Amino acid sequence: MRIGRPERPSLSIPVVPLATVVLLLTLFFPLAGLGEGSLAGPQLPAAVRTVRARPDAAWIVVTPGEGGVARYRLLDSALAARDVTGLDGLSAEASAILERDPGRTLVIRADAGLRYGLIDEAIDRLRRAGARSILLETAEAR
């Protein structure tokens, strides 16, 4: 009597669900920092005319912090979203991004409730860091 080899169970990894999960994480993970604690995100100022940012732009989300100080969060496609401390930290991070890509567009997504002087200081620091293209995100005026 001959005893055959036992059949090995076939192992398979379901590729389609795995690829779907990876795709969804890749698309939505960079946007996780845009909400800043609320589903709507910062209240944007309104504008009559709008301009679209390039897809490879780096985003700077500016929200009100404690004591009238702005909080900065940097969203860069090359790195994970991260909080930046103060204008000096923002300037250093922008310099690092612009060293890799001098023509990179920086988009500021600032809450409409912030004092304009805080945004003006941030724009000034970004210009001194070497930014040539800075956009302010706005909501469409109704």
CATH number, residue 118 = 3.30.420.270
Greater model confidence, 51 or 132: 132
Give the pLDDT score at 38: 45
Greater model confidence, 94 or 139: 94
Closest CA to 129 of 78, 100, 51: 100
- Give the whole-angstrom CA distance, residue 119 versus residue 137: 12
Would you say residue 53 lies in a domain? yes
Would you say residue 3 lies in a domain? no
Write out pLDDT tens, residues 13-44.
677 777 787 777 776 666 555 444 444 566 76
Would you say residue 10 lies in a domain? no
Query: Distance between the two ends of the chain, CA-based, in angstroms?
Result: 86
Would you say residue 35 lies in a domain? no
Would you say residue 11 lies in a domain? no
Q: For the chain, what is the domain count?
A: 1
Q: Are 82 and 73 in contact (CB under 8 A)?
A: yes
Give the 3-state secondary structure of residue 83: strand
Q: Which residue range is the domain that position 44 belongs to?
A: 40-140
Would you say residue 31 lies in a domain? no
Would you say residue 1 lies in a domain? no
Q: Are 122 and 73 in contact (CB under 8 A)?
A: no
Would you say residue 27 lies in a domain? no
Helices and strands (H and E) in the chain: how many: 3, 7
